Structure 1
Amino acid sequence: MIDVVIAGAGPDGLMVACELGLAGIRPIVLDPAPGPNPAARVNRIVGQAARILDYRGLYSALTGADAPIPVPHANFAGLSLDLAAVPASQLFAIPVQQFSLVQLLAERAGNYGTDIRWGHALTGFDQRDDGITVHVAGPDCSYDLTTQYLVGADGGTSTTRHLAGIEFPGMSSYDLVIRIGFDVVPPDEWIEPIPPDPRGPGHLPPQQFHRTDRGVFVYGEMGSRVAMMTYELDNAPHEQRNDGTAGEPPMSLAELQASAERVLGTDVPLRPVSRDAPLDLRRVAGINSRIASHYQVGRVFLVGDAAHVHAPIGGPGLNLGLQDGVNLGWKLAAVSSGRVAPALLATYEVERRPAAERLVMQTRAQLALFRPGPEVTALRDLFTELLSDPNNVLRISDLLSGADNHYTAGNGAHPFVGRWVPDFTVASASGRQRVAELARAGLPVLVDLTEDGAFAAAVTDTDDRLTVAVGRPVDAVGATAVLVRPDGYVAWASSQAQPAREDTHQLRAVLTQWFGI
């Protein structure tokens, strides 16, 4: 019997496969496409997903940099966020095309022995108490697979979700049309770097939004590319399709220019950055904002867009989906190997659903702040005043990055428990290592910062199932020991300089509960 079958070889499904591979589990990944989609889609990864990739040694492979650095500027509904004055910001961004990320994850999963079957589609499954029979249509024939668990990572129109009978409640608003032109810019005299950029004149500032009572006009860098975009929308959501785009031909540069002129109320001459490169123009009509009624039905799980869809404002989808994949991946590996009871898998939905709910909330709020009308204009003026306070900027940036997500901790737990661990550096006799570097093996990590290494001494019998680091923090941490889960969240922490026996007993109890150690 196969341990895990994954439907969908996009970033989220491949992230699950990589997590399983780290733990020695060899899943089969099915995808109906003949190979990775080469089309330019997502242009950047924002938020805590950058830290996830850093934890697996993938961040440097994508960027060439050693560690994520928070972005100095961002926006919320087109309202500027000055993050340079917010030293605690966790809003990271990786300018990368989705195709490049899929290639990297597919290569990593392949190195672990994952069987990725392009051109093989999930067509059905039969679930029993002891496993699942998965029905597959391959290029040459149909066949069945028997597996312990099935993971649906097959997007917003998920076949897995449909076959599992999982409802997808929420809302669809068809009053919005988004038009995007990549590598398209307005005249040079329109481009004024704010703030001045050391890379020289003419460099576009990131995502400059101009809202009017007729819509939103955007130009700037979106990931690794320059883009022009317009939002045209009514002042109230509609639940029936009324987008006026059905049956229209593919979008043209003239259509994008006409939309920009309607939004701004003036002539907007546009030009491609290069006359030799083909235009990349897109039209998106309508927005779905939904969360699956269940993330788990028996032995079937949903991750990424199969579990939730939302407005694409700011490109938050991969931030949410990749964290879904890592959260589920290490837990499936622990249960599949027999180290932990299957009850652990119930924590997946308990932990990840609130994160989806917050993302849906903030994208709906941003869309509301884009709508036309004097009332919305007044609300934006109020938000502008509120965002002059660095504390409010930090709160919004944590909302955008997902840094404000925290999992339930027991009564009396250390303040770190259930939250992302700070990426501090540990100095020891063998050198300096960041927590992210200690996490590369995909194991739980115990960092002991006490003078005599008392906590590490209490868990010397854990063999190779736990990464242990003993040393001194390079900077202040706020704890003397932390136990970090493979997904970056703290499972246990202490501030005791000299731990009592009950402290080490509690540590061992958490190791058993979460990791079967």
Structure 2
Amino acid sequence: MRHKDASVIVVGAGPAGLVLAAELRLAGVDVIVVERLRERTGESRGLGFTARTMEIFDQRGLLPRFGEVETSNLGHFGGIPVDFGVLEGAHQAAKTIPQSVTESVLEQWAGELGADIRRGHEMIALRDGDDGVEIDVRGPDGELTLSAEYLVGCDGGRSTVRKAAGFDFPGTAATMEMYLADLRGVELEPRMIGETVPGGMVMVGPLPGGITRIIVCERGTPPQRRTEPPAFQEVADAWKRLTGIDISHAEPVWVSAFGDATRQVTEYRRGRVFLAGDAAHIHLPAGGQGMNTSIQDSVNLGWKLGAVVRGTAPESLLDTYHGERHPVGQRLLMNTRAQGLLFLSGEEMQPLRDVIAELIRYEEVGRHLAAMVSGLEIRYDVGTGSHPLLGRRMPRLELTANGRDTSSAELLHRGRGVLLDLEDNATLRRRASGWTDRVDVVTATPRNVTPASGLQGTAAVLVRPDGHVAWAAPGSHHDLPSALERWFGPAR
């Protein structure tokens, strides 16, 4: 194969692609991002972040870049209100941050870290070889070929990478079509997602800047194979049929159509090609989970791919990407299908809605559904043991280290592993000395250990770059060197 242009090529500059590019740069890996669009569309399908994504942005020091972030504990499952405040110690979810703002922040971050982002370049073919991947790209100056050690498709639900690499994408096709529109110059009473009306479902939500977002689903509307967004008049006509209200005088900021297709690739990796985000899974937008799960895919893959490219970890580490994230995608598809049945079905579903609304009033049920939708239920297989945090994300822990105040989130800003020594144990630090080129060993005193944190009585914690706990003492059945070697490769 020809000389490689980069270690990794990422196709797609949406949230998943931009986060992956930034994570690779934190790992010291050169990356080219190929994006078909010459500039961002300004569309904002996603609004805000779940609690899990707030944690991820906090651990990379990104939250201040979003300015004043409006947060809330209010959520829903299938249109039935859920109090996310039952999740003790978690970030609240961010509301009303348009996806366009999120993408702008992420693109600036990736660019500052040195990612080579090439807009106006469309991948048209790929070849996956034993020692690398080549792609043919159509750009402003004609066609060219780029090569890299690995390729990651972050190019959305209609992924060119997925099709060209031959990934299987089983699931169910769309059965209906829904409209989403952001409007100016119209005043509508707010309506919760899932508010049914005769013949369908409608939603109204205010956004910053005097914009009103509406969603309309008219039952019996067959899905269409569109190559461009629907005309606003289609949306206005459907809205009037369902509500009796004429909104045709409004100014559409942007209009989109989407369906309830549900699909997931059978494998997140084929050879040297990976998929992340919507390229790997598509589903009904429910609970704002799509963009957030996509970002979390990239955070899981980025540090692993970086370590393998740098040669500090074996290639087998890359297999844990599918092993950890494919089950998360399955849960995502399961819960969005369930939510769709609740808020898109007719009156025949009302008895089930009433039963679920009654069950949600039990705190344990509410906590379970809130954790599912927010992603806070995720626990990876990092080995056996009794410690409650094994495989889970490290909760934000306020610390004093080297005479100054810090936090577990701040220690993860550089995208490296962190070994927290909470008992000033010189033997522990000596056993980790062979990995200090990849893992920061920090002796610290915790300042906010609570029963809810899961850290009471903990002497030490090994945290992966993605924030998940890989080892803890006491409570892990593997010793520290074994855990370090499993996740960070052999000692130097």
TM-score by length of 2: 0.89
Secondary structure at the residue paired with 2:155?
A: coil
Residue matched to 2:245: 268
User: Compared with structure 1, are the counterparts of its residues 105 and 243 closer, same or farther at alpha carbon in structure 2 (3 Å cutoff)?
Assistant: closer
Q: 1:255 to 1:451 in 2, by over 3 A?
A: same
Q: Tell me the equivalent position of 1:167.
A: 168
Distance 1:56 1:361 in 2: 30
Change (3 A) 1:94 1:62: farther
| Cα deviation digits, residues 432-470 of structure 1 (max 9, x gap) | 222111100100011121254653343245344212222
1:329-352 superposed Cα distances (whole Å, 9 cap, x missing partner): 111110000111111111111110
Distance 1:86 1:167, change over 3 A: closer
Shift of 1:424: 1.4
1:345 maps to which residue?
A: 318
- Corresponding residue of 1:202: none
Displacement after TM superposition at 1:249 (Å): 9.1
Cα offset, 1:226, TM superposition: 3.5
Cα distance change, pair 359–91 in 1 and its aligned pair in 2 (3 A): farther
Query: Is the alpha carbon distance of 1:118 and 1:422 closer, same or farther for their aligned partners in structure 2, counting shifts above 3 Å?
Result: same
Q: Following the alignment from structure 1 to structure 2, what is the Cα–Cα distance between the partners of residues 230 and 303? A: 29
Q: Report if the CA contact (8 A) 1:44-1:223 is conserved.
A: no
Partner residue, 2:363: 390
Q: In the alignment, what sits opposite 1:80?
A: 81
Structure 1 position 248, deviation (Å) = 11
Q: Are residue 300 (structure 1) and residue 301 (structure 2) matched?
A: no
Q: How far apart are 1:13 and its partner, in Å? A: 1.0
Q: Distance in 2 between matches of 1:148 and 1:312?
A: 34
CA contact (8 A) 2:32 2:117 kept: yes
Q: CA separation in 2, counterparts of 1:223 and 1:299?
A: 43
The aligned amino acid for 1:101 is T
2:452 alignment partner in structure 1: none
Supply the RMSD in Å over aligned alpha carbons: 2.8
Per-residue Cα deviation, 1:100-152 (whole angstroms, up to 9, x for no partner): 22222222222222211111221212222111222222221322222111111
Deviation of 1:480 after TM superposition, in Å, equals 2.2
Query: Please, which of 437, 443, 468 is the counterpart of residue 470 of structure 1?
Result: 443
Q: CA deviation at 1:64?
A: 4.3
Output the TM-score relative to the length of structure 1: 0.85
What is aligned with 2:462? Answer: 483
- Which residue in the other structure is 1:97 paired with? 98
Instruction: Report the CA distance shift for 1:83/1:411 in structure 2 as closer, same or farther (over 3 A).
Output: closer
How many angstroms does 1:30 deviate by? 1.0
Give me the whole-angstrom Cα distance separating, in 2, the residues matched to 1:96 and 1:41. 11
Deviations 1:396-448 (A, max 9, x none): 11011111111113233533111111111112342222211110010001112
The answer (yes or no) to whether the contact 1:210–1:218 under 8 Å persists in 2 is: yes
Q: Is 1:367 aligned to residue 347 of structure 2?
A: no
Match of 2:117 in 1: 116
Could you tell me whether the CA contact under 8 Å between 2:48 and 2:94 is conserved in 1?
yes
Once residues 429 and 95 of structure 2 are traced to their aligned partners in structure 1, the CA distance between those partners, rounded to angstroms, is 35
**Shift of residue 250, structure 1, vs aligned partner:** 4.3
**Contact 1:176–1:243 under 8 Å retained in 2:** yes
Task: For residue 34 of structure 1, give the secondary structure of its aligned residue in structure 2.
Answer: coil
| Cα offset, 1:174, TM superposition | 2.7
Are residue 230 (structure 1) and residue 216 (structure 2) matched?
yes
Mapped to 2, the partners of 1:32 and 1:19 lie a distance apart of 21
CA–CA distance in structure 1, aligned partners of residues 275 and 226 of structure 2: 31
**CA offsets 1:300-345 (integer angstroms, 9 cap, x no match):** 1111111111111232111111111111111111000011111111
Q: Deviations over 1:54-85 (max 9, x none)?
A: 111112111346xxx96221111111112345
In the TM superposition, residue 377 of structure 1 has moved relative to its aligned partner by 0.1
Give 1:302-321 correspondences, 5 Å limit.
Answer: 302-321=275-294
Q: In the alignment, does 2:25 pair up with 1:24?
A: no
Asked if the contact 2:180/2:213 (under 8 Å) is kept, the reply is no
Contact 1:86/1:390 (CA < 8 Å) preserved in 2?
A: no
The match for 2:199 is: 214
8 Å contact 2:32–2:118 — kept in the other structure? yes
Inter-CA distance 91–132: structure 2 relative to 1 (3 Å threshold)? same
| Corresponding residue for residue 425 of structure 1 | 398
**Take 1:92 and 1:170, find their aligned partners in 2: how far apart are those partners?**
30
Cα distance in structure 2, aligned partners of 1:115 and 1:416: 37
Query: Conserved in 2, the CA contact under 8 Å of 1:174 and 1:285?
Result: no
Partners of 1:271 and 1:146 in 2: how far apart? 50
- What letter matches 2:382 in structure 1? A
CA contact (8 A) 1:44 1:222 kept: no
When residues 356 and 183 of structure 1 are mapped into structure 2, their CA distance, relative to the original with a 3 A threshold, is farther
Alignment size in residue pairs: 479
1:8 — aligned with what?
A: 12
Which ranges in structure 2 are unaligned for 5 or more consecutive residues?
A: 450-454
- Output the CA distance in 2 between the equivalents of 1:415 and 1:11: 31
Retained in 1: the 8 A contact 2:204–2:212?
yes
Task: Provide, for residues 231-278 of structure 1, a one-character-per-residue CA deviation record: whole Å limited to 9, x for no partner.
Answer: 2225xxxxxx934797999443x65455345445xx436598xx8xx4
Asked if 2 retains the 8 angstrom alpha-carbon contact of 1:186 and 1:270, the reply is no
Structure 1 residue 416 and structure 2 residue 420: aligned?
A: no
The match for 2:50 among 46, 50, 53 is: 46
Change in Cα spacing, 1:226 to 1:87, as seen in structure 2 (3 Å) is farther
Mean Cα displacement is larger for which, 107-116 or 341-350? 107-116
Offset, 1:492: 0.7
In the TM superposition, what is the alpha-carbon distance from 1:46 to its structure 2 partner?
2.2
- Determine helix, strand or coil for the equivalent of 1:177: strand
Distance, in Å, in 2 between the alignment partners of 1:85 and 1:344 is 35
Q: Is 1:494 equivalent to 2:477 in the alignment? A: no
CA–CA separation in structure 2 for the residues paired with 1:167 and 1:29 = 24
**Alpha carbons 1:251, 1:281 under 8 Å: kept:** no
Distance of 1:136 and 1:174 partners within structure 2? 34
Cα distance change of structure 1 residues 298 and 249 upon mapping to structure 2, 3 Å threshold = closer
Asked whether the equivalents of residues 177 and 222 of structure 2 are also in contact (C-alpha less than 8 Å), the reply is no
Alignment of 1:318-329 (within 5 A): 318-329=291-302
Letter in 1 for 2:27: A
Give the distance between the partners of 2:291 and 2:206, measured in 1 at CA: 18
Cα deviation, 1:367-410, whole Å, max 9, x if unaligned, reads: 00023344310000001111111221111110111111111132
Rounded to whole Å, the distance in 2 between the matches of 1:87 and 1:443 is 27
Q: 1:127 to 1:249 in 2, by over 3 A?
A: closer
Paired residue secondary structure (2:435)? coil
Look up the equivalent residue of 2:20 and give its one-letter code: V
**Which ranges of structure 1 fall in alignment gaps of 5 or more residues?**
192-205, 235-240, 497-501
Relative to 1, partners in 2 of residues 1:121 and 1:245: Cα closer, same or farther, differing over 3 Å? closer
Counterpart of 1:141 in structure 2: which amino acid?
Answer: G
**Aligned equivalents of 2:297 and 2:208: distance in 1?**
22
1:280 aligns with 2:288: no
Cα gap change, 1:58/1:490 in structure 2, threshold over 3 Å: closer, same or farther?
Answer: same
